[in-house]
Chains A and B, each alone.
Chain A
Amino acid sequence: MFIIVLGDVHVPHRSHGIPPEFKKLLVPEKIQHILCTGNLVSKEIHDYFKFLTSDVHIVKGDLDENASYPDTKVVTIGQFKFGLCHGHQVVPWGDKVSLAALQRQLDVDVLITGHTHALDVYESNGKLFVNPGSATGSFSNITNDVIPSFVLMDVQGNNITVYIYKLVDGAVKVEKVGHTKQ
């Protein structure tokens, strides 16, 4: 089961589009779910996700106008509960202690947040925390020199393999992290 995790796209506010190098990788047949941390901020990006797969989950970023996006969302895929939240509501932004509280609140196995444009994947207290960064590598007041990134998760039983995709100087770099549910 393949899940694409991405967000903070900011088209057209901060970027003119998802890099073609990424678009080449995002092919409709291979993706079952999209979990998006928000800040799309246009309908065109929403439509693009819908074109990739019908199962798209989006939460509201601080600059999303779409009122139908919730602040948080919990999605169960296989044996995992995924919590989704843009993260601008977390004070201080991106703070691991605050994110842990959000994980407890949503009662999830994996917490996915964005907002900082800083890619981060780590385990804490047996839970998995994922920040896919910004899919367009767009400008941020929080993080300098943002590079485009997203995350692909392969869910198999109690295991998740997290593939991290980064666009560095025009080349896609992939890293792999494993996680097992406790």
Chain B
Amino acid sequence: MLKSKPTTVQILSPEEEQAKFFEEAKNNVLVQGHHMKLSLDNGKLMDALKYASNIINELRTSLLSPKTYYGLYLVAFDYLQHLNTYLYEEKHGKKMIELYEVVQHAGNVLPRLYLLITVGSVYIRTKQAPAKDVLKDLIEMCRGVQHPTRGLFLRHYLSEVTKDKLPDIDTPSESGHVNDSIEFIIQNFTETNKLWVRMQHQAPSKDKERRENERLELRLLVGKNLSRLAQLDGVDQKTYSEVVLPKVLEQIINCKDKIAQQYLMEILIQVFPDEFHLATLDSILSTCGQLQTGVDVKTIIASLIDRLANFATRNSESVPQEIKIFDIFYNNVKEIINQRPNMELQDILGLHVSLLNLTLKCYPTNKENANEVLGLCKTILATKRKEDITKATCTKQIVQLLQIPLEAFKNVLTVLKLSNYQPLISCLSYNTRKKVSLDIVNSTIQNSTIIEEPEDVNSLLETISTLVKDEQDQPDMEDIDKEDFAEEQNKVASLIHLFDSEDPEKLFKIYLVARSHFGKGGQHRIKHTLVPLIFRSLKFIRKLKQQVDDDEISLDENQWNAIGSRIFQFVSETIKALADIKLSELSFRLYLQAMQTFDNCSLVSKIKDLAGKALLIFQEDIADFKAQGAALTLFISTLNSLSIPDEEIYETLAVQTIKQASRLLFQDQSKLISLCSHLFWVDHAKRQYKNEESVLKALKKALHIISNDSTPSLSVFVDILNESLYYVDKNTGAVPAQFIGDLVELIRTTHNKEGDPALAYFQNTIKYIQSQNYSGINV
């Protein structure tokens, strides 16, 4: 006995091992193939068949993974093609029937069948036998191979070499009918699928995952059969519905295999035309209901829905009326969700998204369908836990369900009519509710949707309530980004400009509804939302006044005063809400705006009230000197603009204004007192009030104040000079020429310092005076 030498054992990885087996087998194929070609070149057909048989023998291996096996199959396939071509050229002088007999004697079943198929295909091509008979014979014989991988490739070979020889509609009847082809392909499909499914059960369960991956690599071998069916001209919609589909579905259901069902349903939907699916929706969908647990039914149905929705959009006329696409999908989807209690919520929601897209593409104006989808979703969500609903993947789809109607209808009013819309929002978390509410607001603004009914305003503001008022689950105000918050509230505030109605009663009711909603917003929100409401109310009453003046609306004075009082109450109460939260400068300005409006509307009694409120804020809540100066300037210009006929009220206000001005810093005081001169010279279309004496008095007082300042500013002197010139330019007679001349002289001699930034102002004013040639003024 020889003592074996120690050898180094080389351990190969599975990949290296596969490569090694493949190389060996491939070399054998190449060698045998070479001999086969030589024999054919020398006309030795029998030898060639023997070598061909040897080639195929290599395909009997069990060592290769399906992927590697495929590689080897391709090498062998090339040689068989070569043989095929040779046989067709008939140089061998043999009848096909003889050859068909000869190859049946090959020893092994696999080489025998490959050769038989090769010869059989030539047999059909040379028309020496009817296609249908040969096909039938071949498909029967293929049953002889039951090993999954070998069987799969053998049947794939059969399918490949016969694909251009299948009887179709134009084939002469003696060769066969398209039904023969259908039967042939379906049988091959069924058997291929069985083999494919059986692969799953070959490996121990620990290799399940590897096995599943290997199977997926081979799925095309099964799916090809369905594409073949789809390529037959003879498979029209009728044949498809009555013959092809029932058989295919039968196999899909009966194979009870998750991977096969998933793949075959997808490929079925993919390879046949949309019209066919439209005609057979019920069968396909009811099949979906019967698939194994674990099959991703959602993806299958969603892809079908999306395809048909796009089809309907492209060919709106060719969707037959009698096919109720939405109803079929809706009922089936509902049924399937019921049947599959383990279906993931995100998948259920995904189906809703597809359904909603479908109905809005197929029936763009149908609100009921959309509402039904949202309703189904609402019912399902009611049975789910909050933490499942608020998962990001689910939330995203609910948000989509809420966005789709906004985009489709482009009208928030239509969306608000969907009774299931608002309840769906309520299911969401605070931030998501806010996001959806903003989508609604943005859509309304972008589409400039005018909202004319108080109920609709109410419904809109209720729907977006997350933006309108505080909610229990909102974060602390400190944790909210101030800029984002302001931007959101400004958006909400913008909505008010889209609330409009030709009917004044209705419009005022709208403002009351909006006020009651926004009133609940708290100080951070009302700052944004109440201001537009005030301006709209002011615009509203001005327009109403215009309509009364133009006799478009007839109201007697009592009626008008009553309406005016209601609006006044509304406006002043709303401004007060802002004054109460110490938005002093804002509420002061709003009172001034209201004064102008009510003045314009001849509601004089309100002016005194509003002015009083404004002055109170000025005295009590505006502390900063600069802000005081700005506020008082506005008060003066506002008074100047009024048409207020009651001189007593006016003069009281004028006196109060001067009193307030006297409280300011010297510099501001002087400038403001000079502006106060305009309280005594009002000259516009609506009102003339001319008190020359008081004008001059104010200017002199201003001059007196600035002259007594410790560091009098040149610019204030020039301001007073220009203010005085105003009355000269307007030919008022209030300011004597002497006053101007003296003032210029005073500035020149006392305050004209080089380098003063106001020097240009002074020089420009001098130049102007010179250009005007006023009589009596020489500067």
Bound pair: A and B? yes
Could you tell me which A residues sit within 8 Å of B by CB distance? 10-17, 42-44, 62-63, 65, 88-93, 97-98, 100-101, 103-105, 107, 125, 139, 141-142, 144
> A116 vs B245: C-alpha distance in the bound complex, in angstroms?
75
Q: Other than A15-B494, A101-B723, A139-B536, give 12 A-B pairs with Cβ distance below 8 A.
A: A11-B494, A12-B528, A13-B493, A42-B490, A88-B633, A91-B675, A92-B641, A97-B725, A101-B765, A141-B542, A141-B596, A141-B641
Known: A12-B490, A44-B490, A104-B765. A92 touches B445 (CB 8 A): no
Q: In the complex, are the beta carbons of B637 and A92 less than 8 A apart? A: yes
Q: Specify the chain B residue showing the minimal Cβ separation from A15.
A: B497
Residues 101-134 of B, flagged 1 when their CB comes within 8 A of A and 0 if not, give: 0000000000000000000000000000000000
Contact B726 A105 (CB under 8 A): no
B586 contact from A10, A63, A92, A125, Cβ within 8 A: A63
A-B contact pairs, 12 of them (CB 8 A): A12-B491, A14-B497, A14-B532, A15-B494, A42-B487, A62-B630, A63-B586, A90-B637, A92-B641, A101-B726, A104-B722, A139-B539
Which listed residue, A65, A101, A139, touches B722 by the CB 8 Å rule?
A: A101
Determine the chain A residues whose CB is within 8 A of the CB of B600 once the complex forms. Answer: 141
Q: Are B589 and A91 in contact, CB atoms less than 8 angstroms apart? A: no
Name B535's contact: one of A90, A91, A139 (CB within 8 Å). Answer: A139
Q: Which chain B residues lie closer than 8 Å to A125 at the CB level?
A: 768, 771
Q: Inside 8 A of B483's CB, which chain A residues have their CB?
A: 43
- Indicate whether B40 reaches chain A with its CB closer than 8 angstroms: no
591-617 of chain B: CB within 8 A of chain A: 593, 596-597, 600
How many Å from the CB of B548 to the closest CB on chain A? 14
Residues of chain A lying within 8 A (CB to CB) of residue B532: 12-14
Q: Which residue of A lies closest to B445 (CB)?
A: A16
Closest to B640 in A: A92
Residues of B within 8 A of A105 (CB): 715, 718-719, 722, 758, 761, 764
Partner of B538, one of A16, A90, A139: A139
In the complex, the answer to whether B764 meets A44 with C-beta atoms within 8 Å is no
**0/1 interface trace, chain B 700-739, chain A, CB 8 Å (1 if under):** 0000000000000001001100110110011000000000
- Chain B residues, CB < 8 A from A16: 445, 448, 494-495, 497-498
| B597 in complex: contacting residue of A91, A92, A103, A141, CB < 8 Å | A141
Q: Could you say which of B494, B528, B636 has the most chain A C-beta atoms within 10 Å of its C-beta?
A: B494
Interface positions of B (Cβ within 8 A of A): 445, 448, 483, 486-487, 490-491, 493-498, 528, 531-532, 535-536, 538-539, 542, 546, 586, 589, 593, 596-597, 600, 630, 633-634, 636-637, 640-641, 675, 678, 684, 715, 718-719, 722-723, 725-726, 729-730, 758, 760-761, 764-765, 768, 771
Given contacts A13-B531, A14-B532, contact A142 B498 (CB under 8 A): no
With A and B bound together, what is the CA distance between A6 and B702 in angstroms? 35
Q: Is the CB of A141 within 8 A of B678?
A: no
Inter-chain CA distance A142–B641, complex, in Å, is 8
Closest to A65 in B: B586
Enumerate chain B residues within 8 angstroms of A43, measured Cβ to Cβ: 483, 486-487
Are the CB atoms of B593 and A91 closer together than 8 Å?
no
Q: Are B761 and A92 in contact (CB under 8 A)?
A: no
User: How far is B764's CA from A104's CA once the two chains are assembled, in angstroms?
Assistant: 5
Contacts of B596 in A (CB 8 A): 141-142
A100 interface neighbour in B538, B641, B768, Cβ under 8 Å: B768
> Could you tell me the distance in whole angstroms from the C-beta of B588 to the nearest C-beta in chain A?
10
Give the residue of B448, B491, B637 whose beta carbon is less than 8 angstroms from that of A91.
B637
Q: Which residues of A contact B491 (CB under 8 A)?
A: 12
CB distance from B112 to the nearest CB of A (A): 77
Q: Whole-angstrom distance between the alpha carbons of A91 and B445 in the complex?
A: 37
Given that A12-B497, A43-B487, A97-B729 are contacting pairs, would A88 and B531 also be in contact in the complex, using a CB cutoff of 8 Å?
A: no
Complex: A16 Cα to B768 Cα, angstroms: 43
Q: What is the chain B residue whose CB lies nearest that of A102?
A: B722
Q: Bound complex: CA of A42 vs CA of B492, how far in Å?
A: 13
A120 to chain B, nearest CB (A): 16
Report the minimum CB–CB distance from A165 to chain B (whole Å): 20
Residues of chain A within 8 A of B729, CB atoms compared: 97
Q: How far is the CA of A65 from the CA of B583 in the complex (A)?
A: 11
> In whole angstroms, what is the CA distance A62 to B483 when docked?
22
**Contact: A93 with B641, CB < 8 Å?**
yes
List chain A residues, Cβ under 8 A from B726.
Answer: 97-98, 101
Residue ID in chain A nearest B722 by CB atoms? A101
Task: Report how far A130 CA is from B102 CA in the complex, Å.
Answer: 105
Q: Which residue of A lies closest to B677 (CB)?
A: A91
Known: A92-B678, A104-B764, A104-B768. A14 touches B637 (CB 8 A): no
Closest to B637 in A: A91
Closest to B593 in A: A141
Which residues of B lie under 8 Å from residue A42 when comparing CB positions?
A: 486-487, 490
Residues of A within 8 A of B730 (CB): 97
Contacts of A11 in B (CB 8 A): 490, 494
Q: Which residues of A contact B760 (CB under 8 A)?
A: 107
- Report the minimum CB–CB distance from A157 to chain B (whole Å): 23
- Residues in A with CB closer than 8 Å to B538 are 139, 141
> What is the distance, in angstroms, from A128's C-beta to the closest C-beta of chain B?
15
**CB of A87, distance to nearest CB on chain B (Å):** 10
B490/A92 in contact, CB under 8 A: no
Residue of A nearest to B764 (CB): A104
Whole-angstrom distance from the CB of B764 to the nearest CB of chain A? Answer: 4
Query: Which 10 residue pairs across A and B have the least CB separation, nearest first?
Result: A141-B596, A16-B494, A104-B764, A12-B493, A101-B722, A12-B494, A107-B760, A16-B497, A139-B539, A91-B637
Q: Which residue of B lies closest to A71 (CB)?
A: B630
What residues of chain A lie closer than 8 Å to B589, measured between beta carbons? 62-63
Bound together, the chains give a CA A14 to CA B764 distance in angstroms of 38
**Other-chain residue from A17, A90, A92, A93 in contact with B494 (beta carbon distance below 8 A):** A17
Contact A91 B761 (CB under 8 A): no
Smallest Cβ-Cβ distance to B629: which chain A residue: A89
Q: Which residues of A contact B718 (CB under 8 A)?
A: 105
What residue of chain B has the Cβ atom nearest to residue A97's Cβ? Answer: B729
CA distance A167 to B24 in the complex (A): 83
B633 touches A89 (CB 8 A): yes
Provide the bound-state CA to CA distance between A104 and B538, in Å.
Answer: 36
B539–A107 touching, CB < 8 Å: no
Name the residue of chain B whose CB is nearest to the CB of A104: B764
